[in-house]
Every structure is written in C-alpha cells, then in structure tokens.
Chains A and B, each alone.
Chain A
Amino acid sequence: MAFLEISNLQKDYAGNRVVENFNLAVEQGEFISFLGPSGCGKTTVLRMVAGFETPSAGSIRIDGKDVVNLKPNQRNIGMVFQAYALFPNMTVAQNLAFGLKVAGKSKAEIESTVQEMLALIKLEELGQRYPFQLSGGQQQRVALARALAVKPKLLLLDEPLSALDAKIRVSLREEIRSIQRKLQITTIFVTHDQEEALSMSDRIVVMHKGKADQLGTPFEIYNQPKTRFVASFVGTINVLEGVVTNPQTGSFKLNGTELSLGRSLSKLKMGDSIALALRPEAASLGQVARKAGQLQGIVQDVNFLGSVIRVRVKVGESVLSLDGFNQPLVAPPKAGAQVIVSFSPEELLVLAD
C-alpha cells in the first residue's frame, strides 16, 4: 500500500465541481508535483490533504490511516505557503520552535532542533532576526524549516517559489530538492511553472479543470503527453494537422506529403484528421538526411536566447517554432529567408483531444 493514497476525491463549491475523481498513490520518499494553470484544482486537492478543506467525496489515507475527519493540527503534515506565512511577531528561532512548543517538547529538545533546522537551511546567524528583516528567499527557507521542524510525515509545498525573483527561484528549488532527498520526506509540490515541476519531481500530476490529465515521470509527461492540454501546457509545441491514410502502418498525409509514424494508429481509421505535436527541439532548419518530414517556410523572426536560438517559421497558415543550439561559427537565418523545416515523423506526438 502506498504511503499517501487519494481515492475518488471530489470537491464541490456552490454547485461547481472543482475537483473530480482524483486518484493518486504516492510512495514513501517520493517528490510529486501538481502542475496546472490557476483554477485547475491543484491547490484545492492540496488543501484537502492538509485538512483546510473538507472533501465532498472520496478518501485520503496517510500511512494507511484515513485522515479525512482529522483536523489539520492532528494530521502531522508540514506545509509551506506561497506568501511565506511566517509569524511576524516571532524571531526566526521562535518561528522554528512554534510547532515543537505547541507539541509540548522540552526546552532542550526545542533548542537543539532549532539549531539543527537553522543549519539545514544554512541560516545559523539569523536565528534572532524578525521575518521583516529577511529577504523573500530567506523567509521561504525559514518557512520550509519551520514545516520540517515537527518531523512531519508529509510535506506540502503550495507554490512556495512563485513570489520570489527568478534567480532565487532556481537556487531555492535545488535547495528544496536536496533537503527533501536528504530527509527522504514524502512531498507534494503545487506549481503552475512547468520548468519547476519538470526539474524537481519524481513524478508529475498534470491537472486540468479539476481532473488529473496525466500522471508520470517528467520524461513521460514531456515526451509522451496523453492529451492536447498536457502537450501544450508542458513545454512548447507546434501542432500539425494531418489526415490518416493507413491506420495499420501509421501513415498519414501532411501538406501533400505521405509520412509514417512507424507505429499503428489503432483507434483511428482512414480519412480521420489527426493532430500531431512537434517539439521545437525535434525540428531542424534545412534538410537533414535522417529526417523524412520536410516543410517549406519563411522565417518570421529569430530569438537569440543564449545557448538556444528559437526560430519561428511560417508554414502555410501556421507558425512553427524551432529550437537549435547556438553554434558560434554559424550565423542564424534572417527574417524573410526561405527555409526548409525537417523532422522525423517518428518523433511526432499524437494528441488526443
């Protein structure tokens, strides 16, 4: 049995179903992300796990125990909020000690745990500071340590990085992940930032309109998106519309050229239209020997992003994005140039609606 088991979870607000038939099993020590746009229900699921919202139906089991009827303060869960939520009237050390104090731990134990936590987040010198004297990144590290100080069974992170600057965001997500690995604590991380989810998680739940669209490792989510929503929300995609010519061989027609996916399209029949996704990095400029797919187009604009150059090419009515690595000796194409976009049909992703 999994460490955290959520079954058939459902939440209705004034007639609106904001979470529907949500199922998830999380193993001990796993780092799971809930990824989705705002209003997709990811925070609501998290708040039901924490106990701030009562499910309309379904069950939540932590370590084999049904917690739905437990109050938040009986669940032994750690949580970090988006807006830090440090107690402004307490020093860093007092904030860290809060959970231990209400649990009635001894002074000596509190003191040693606070020191341990300060060391964990590398803020040993700042124990006597008040929250307003800390930067946003420091505050969020204190909030993390405060949540961990009570040795929770489960750690919930509710968009903990979204209020921070870009640079701090990156360094803090590495720090959170390394602390999580060190403590082997089961963690749920809610975010709308796909980069965060992809870089930090063991597995990702992509949520959309109150439902879990797909559950998988970052690699699976990115490379085998099951729905059009997942494909478009995680990373950038180009959608190509083709017509199936032979479902058994996976052949289809695209801009008059017949190509093959190399795998059968069992659910479709001849003449069906098919939506195919192409990742920008899977397409190349110019003819490439191994890549059978070829499209004619005109360069619309070129964005130099550093290690990567993104070229947008107008093909027929649609615009395709192409990512290529920067090559110091090769200048990127100019806007207006006639180019050929090539790709391997096998790398196309078939999108279900």
Chain B
Amino acid sequence: MSVISEPVDATATVIAKPRRSMAWLGILPFLIFALLFLILPTLNIVIGAFQNPAGEFTLANIQKLFQPSILASYWISIKVSVASALLGCLIGFAIAAAIVLGGLPAWIRSPIMTFSGVASNFAGVPLAFAFLATLGRLGLVTVLLREWFGINIYAHGFNILSFWGLTLTYLFFQIPLMILIITPALDGLKREWREAAAILGANGFQYWTMVALPILWPALLGTFALLFANAFGAVATAYALTGSSLSIVPIVLFAQIRGDVLQDPHLGYALAFGMIVVTIIANTIYLWMRARSEKWVKS
C-alpha cells in the first residue's frame, strides 16, 4: 500500500502546500465541537477522578472504588452486559444464519431486517414498559403461563426486576443489532469455500470450525464488544424497569449525579471513570484480538 500511495502523497504535498493550512480549516468546526462536547467533558471526569475536593492529585477516589458495594455494582453490571452480549450474539447469529444459509424463503429476509432496525433502536423507557407488561407480575406471558400451563414463574424465583429479567429485556435490542451487523458478514462467506472444504473431505462441522468461524471471528468479536458497551452504558431501560432495586453501575451513577447518594462527588467521578475504563478495556481486547485474527486481511 505504501508503495502506491507514496508518490501520490508526494505530489499532493508539492502542489497543495500553500493550500494546506486552508484545508485544515474545513474540519475545524467539527474538531471544536468534538472537543467541547465530547472529549473535554470526558477528560474532565477522568481528571476529577484523580482529584480531592481541594483540587489536588489523589488516588483515594480510585481506592474507594474497591469497597465491596461498588465492586458488586461493577460485577453485576459486567455480568448483565456479558450475558446479554453473549446471548445476543448467539441468538442473533442463529437467526441470521437461518436467514442467509437456512434455505428459508427469500421474501422473509426483508421484513426481518426492517424489524431488526426498529427493535435495535427500541430501547430505553418504553422497552422497560413493554417487558413489565409482558413478564411483570400481571404481564401477559406471566398470566398465560399461570392460567394455561399452571406455571407460576414468580414462584420459581423469576423476577423481571432481576439479573435475568434485565438480561432478557436487553436482548430485545441486542439480538436485532447482532442480526443487522452479522448478516452482511454471512453473505460474504463464499459458496466456493464451503464447496472447497467439502471436496477436500471436511464435514459441515469442520467447515464451520476451521473455515467459516475463523473468517467471521473478527466480525463476531467486534459485534460482541459493541453489544457489551451497549448494555454496559444503558441507563434508561434499567432505571425504568427496576428503579434502583438492581444496583448496576449506571444506576448508581445516575442516583449519584441526581442526589449525591455516595456523599462524595469525587467518588462519583471515579465511578464514571471506572465505566470508561471497563469499556476501553473491552474495546482494547476487541482490537487486539481482531488484529491477531485478521492478519490475513488486506491492509
């Protein structure tokens, strides 16, 4: 790539030298906006996490994150995010595979993709209402299961205001997001790869584990990271669903911003900083694994 692009760049610098400072200006509004409303506010929180109320540098706020109640919040947050991302990936993949490879009628694809677009954007407060109306104590499914099948899911320990309830609710936007992203990737699997594997003696399982999944792996990983961040930062659904009965990190942070429930503003910054750290770790793992598994892709 460098071989081809170098001469082009060279001529570009020669010709465009006087105009270069002008070209810069074209994206200045964008850069200023990003700085003011995205980057600086975030940095502000990060800095706040390392300051005491007097504005001096300290690690005390970060240390306070390791108290059991806050660690527990992170733990349940990460659990919900991983569970909903993992299940979202698996189920979304199964449905996408059914559409692309399952030999279903072709007309079925378009409505599913449209619906996925809708459902992946149907998050927040109304989604919580929908699941309360379905799986809450008086919800349709709860009532039907009790009246038709005699199964009282609440007696069996299910609660919509719990880890599994939240995970089940998040899946409503996680699965469609996965379908939207992975369907094009599945389309990209060439028929010849499957046929070449078959004629070389591989069975379906071997084709999937040795060829198809390794090829899809970067896309799967990327979607998983995205779904994880999607669930990890979600506030509205959880808040409207559980109020503050399930203390996942975003809910604790929400309550802290509203009323300083931690009675320590700088601990709030540390809490937010922790959220950034988790999403950055998730994305770094993703980028690292993608780089490892994508050596074979044209640079």
Contact = CB atoms under 8 A, between A and B. Distances in A.
A150 B199 CA distance: 10
Contacts of A130: 295-296
B184 interface: no
Contacts of B193: 85, 87
A14 to B, nearest CB: 14
A143 B206 CA distance: 19
Contacts of A51: 198-199
B297 interface: yes
A83 B200 CA distance: 16
Contact of B200 (A84, A88, A132, A146): A146
Interface string A79-93: 101011111111000
A19 interface: no
A131 interface: yes
A50 to B, nearest CB: 6
Contacts of A90: 296
Interface stretch (A69-77, A240-248, A282-290, A294-302): A69-77
Given A79-B199, A102-B200, A89 B214 contact: yes
Contacts of B210: 87, 98, 101-102
Contacts of B197: 87, 98, 102
A78 interface: yes
A1 interface: no
Quick one: which of B190, B195, B206, B297 has the most chain A CB within 10 A?
B195
A101 B202 CA distance: 9
A103 interface: yes
A52 interface: yes
Contacts of A79: 195-196, 199
Contact of A77 (B199, B211, B214, B297): B199
B296 A81 contact: no
Contacts of A150: 200-201
A52 B193 CA distance: 13
B203 interface: yes
A73 B214 CA distance: 21
B198 A72 contact: yes
Nearest to B200: A99
A348 B190 CA distance: 48
Interface residues of B, number: 22
A102 to B, nearest CB: 4
A264 B198 CA distance: 54
Nearest to B217: A89
Contacts of A83: 190, 192
B295 A73 contact: no
B298 interface: yes
A52 B296 CA distance: 28
A89 B195 contact: no
B215 interface: yes
A246 B279 CA distance: 93
Specify which of A51, A71, A87, A102 lies most central, judged by the most chain B CB atoms within 10 Å of its CB. A87
B192 A102 contact: no
Given A102-B206, A132-B298, A85 B196 contact: yes
Contacts of B195: 50, 52, 72, 79, 81, 85
Contacts of B293: 89
Interface string A83-125: 1111111100000001101110000000000000000000000
Nearest to A87: B211
A73 B298 contact: no
Interface in B175-199: 190, 192-193, 195-199
Contacts of B192: 81, 83-85
B203 A88 contact: no
A78 B296 contact: no
Nearest to A75: B199
Interface string B219-248: 000000000000000000000000000000
Contact of A103 (B198, B201, B295, B297): B201
A103 B190 CA distance: 23
Interface in B147-205: 190, 192-193, 195-203
Contacts of B199: 50-51, 72-73, 75, 77-79, 147
A75 B298 CA distance: 34
Contacts of B214: 89
Interface in A23-76: 50-52, 71-73, 75-76
Contacts of A73: 198-203
Nearest to A86: B196
Contact of A99 (B190, B201, B211): B201
21 contacts: A50-B195, A72-B195, A72-B199, A73-B202, A78-B199, A81-B192, A81-B196, A85-B196, A86-B196, A87-B196, A88-B215, A88-B296, A88-B297, A89-B215, A98-B210, A102-B197, A102-B203, A102-B210, A103-B201, A132-B298, A150-B201
Interface of B: 190, 192-193, 195-203, 206, 210-211, 214-215, 293, 295-298
Given A87-B210, A89-B211, 11 more contacts: A73-B200, A73-B202, A81-B192, A85-B196, A87-B211, A88-B215, A90-B296, A102-B200, A102-B203, A130-B296, A132-B298
